[in-house]
Amino acid sequence: IHIKYKLNKSFQILIKMWTNKFFFLLPLVCIAVFATAQPLPSPQPSQIDCWSSIEVIPDCVPEIFRSITNGQFGDVGPSCCHAFLGLDADCIPQMFIFAPLIPPSRRLRDHCSKTIIVP
């Protein structure tokens, strides 16, 4: 019985010691977490939003797909180029998700930059 009492007393002291440490460290950890927290990223536009500005130009989407599939970007007209250059930077990776290694968007952007002058 005497050993059991000492064990219980030691356990109680240990619990009290860790509880004090926990409640001392908890506010410090919360301050550190909130002080280093990053703002939430802005939502990326959906693929529908990205394609909508190009779809309003007649034959723009087929021109882009033809140029990507055959590698000849000269077939993309000025109005389509203007719409393509006006796309949000977050749209490009979403629109050309099927070609991650050789991004056709870079070649299309180069062509369109030469075709029209953006103010």
- pLDDT tops 50 at residue 1: no
- Work out the pLDDT band at 92, boundaries 50, 70, 90: confident
Residue 96: what pLDDT? 73
Q: Which residues contact 104 (CB under 8 A, 6 or more apart)?
A: 67, 68, 96
pTM of the model: 0.55
Round the average pLDDT of the chain to a whole number and report it: 76
Q: What is the pLDDT of residues 37-91, one digit of tens each?
A: 776 665 566 777 788 888 899 999 898 888 877 888 888 888 998 888 888 877 8
Residues 1, 81: Cα–Cα separation, whole Å: 88
Alpha helices in 36-77 (DSSP H): 47-55, 60-70
The pair of structure tokens assigned to 109 is: 């952007």
Between 8 and 109, whose confidence is greater?
109
Residue 80 buriedness (CB in 10 A; 0-12 / 13-18 / 19+) = buried
